[in-house]
Amino acid sequence: MTAFSLDPAHTAWCAELRTLAAEQLRPAAEKGEPGHVNRPLIAELGRLGLLARLFTSGALDLCLMRESLARECTEAETALALQGLGAHPVHTYGTRAQRAHWLPRVSDGSAVAAFALSEPGAGSDAAALALRADVDGADDSGGWRLTGEKCWISNAPEADFYTVFARTTPGAGARGVTAFLVPADRPGLTGTPLDMLSPHPIGTLAFDAVRVTAEDVLGETDRGFRVAMHTLNLFRPSVGAFAVGMAQAALDMTLAHTAERDAFGGKLRDLQTVAHQVAEMALRTEAARLMVYAAAAAYDEGAPDVPRRAAMAKLLATETAQYVVDAAVQLHGARALRRGHLLEHLYREVRAPRIYEGASEVQRAVIAKELYASVAAS
């Protein structure tokens, strides 16, 4: 297998995932309430063994899972991805006790994870975090008290635990941030759901002197930014895979619709302007897919240019998906705007990935920084 082709085993697995998504996961997704955690859906992902694969697979397998699920059921894709995003720091940086307590429950779908990085004044600028971790001097046991807010947190406030990034050293920028594993039942931790355009659960978290200790640290004190970036470098290409899956679903619908729809004495596909539009949609989707696979393969191989590749993959794929879904809506006409139509759903779903896990503008900044750094190094 190369970065630009899949072997037969991968192709067969993707087909199996699409079947599972359509036949077993979509019914569970349809019973959920938009904007809230769908625990039966997460439990079904666990029963099928897909959540456990989050911790045994490489970046390419993660991309294949997300793309395949997204083509048939975006809710299932998002539920799986959020479990991985919230729990990956525990898997990679957690203590033996943290891993033993939480990872089996994440894998079987009985515990919901969340990644709590963004704040009202620090979204894409993660180094500007203001959530305070003040040294707790109440007794001799050590530890900190978390005070502040998190915002735009997926699965909040309904998750069972949060990977929380807080400032342990004021004025130190990215070097003064620590990652903590914070169970949702900690005294002083509350949250509020947000009513968002995209249908998955997002909310705010408020920390009122929430107590954490050295046993809650993920990795090392003041080295939490590394935890965040390691996680995002893995998941950014897979955000691209999610986008590619949505683009492919929109393209598939458009191919079927334009081949069947009567217009101007023939089929829509007979109009050159339509045929060229569909060709452009397919071209961009395939280009994005190849870049996602290449970035994932680079991550799995431990390549030195992963940050640049991951940023490129997310940027191209999410911008492409926006273009393809919008074009699909245009070619379908008013029917695609009707509530409940798949393209209406994708149109709402496709907008958010251009913002979360680093907005498109941030990805361009990362790419430029990496390019100039490589020039300086040579």
Catalytic residue among 119, 357, 361, 370: 357
What are the tens digits of pLDDT across the range 298-322? 999 999 999 999 999 999 999 999 9
The pLDDT value recorded for residue 1 is 43
Q: What is the pLDDT of residue 344?
A: 95
Cα distance between residue 139 and residue 137, in whole Å: 5
For residue 6, the 8-state DSSP code is -
**Domain boundaries along the sequence of the chain:** 8-108, 114-222, 226-377
Classify each residue of 142-159 as buried b or exposed e, where b means 16 or more C-beta atoms within 10 Å of its C-beta: ebbbbbbbbbbbbbbbbb
For residues 157 and 37, what is the distance between their CA atoms, to the nearest angstrom?
9
Q: Is the pLDDT of residue 90 over 80?
A: yes
Architecture of the CATH domain 226-377: Up-down Bundle (1.20)
* Closest listed residue to residue 239, CA positions, set 335, 362, 373: 362
* Type of residue numbered 31: K
Residue 58 pLDDT > 50? yes
Residue 7, SS3 per DSSP = coil
> Quick one: average pLDDT of 17-46?
96
Highest mean pLDDT among 7-16, 50-59, 246-255: 246-255
Q: Which of 125, 127, 133, 41 lies closest to 83, judged by CA?
A: 41
| Residue 378, pLDDT score | 83
What's 169's DSSP letter? S
Superfamily of domain 114-222: Butyryl-CoA Dehydrogenase, subunit A, domain 2 (2.40.110.10)
Beta bridge partners of 182: 162
Least confident range of 116-130, 140-154, 263-277, 318-332: 116-130
Tell me the C-alpha distance between 64 and 2, whole Å. 14
Residues contacting residue 19 through CB under 8 Å, at least 6 positions apart = none
Supply the pLDDT for residue 6.
83
Give yes or no: 33 in active site. no
pLDDT value of residue 136:
87
Average confidence score pLDDT of the chain: 93
| Predicted local confidence at residue 81, as pLDDT | 96
Could you tell me which residues are beta bridge partners of residue 212?
A: 144
Does the domain made of 8-108 have the CATH classification 1.10.540.10?
A: yes
Q: Does the pLDDT value for residue 250 go beyond 60?
A: yes
What band does 174 get if pLDDT is binned at 50, 70 and 90? Answer: confident
Work out whether strand 202-212 and strand 177-183 pair parallel, antiparallel, or are unpaired. unpaired
pTM: 0.92
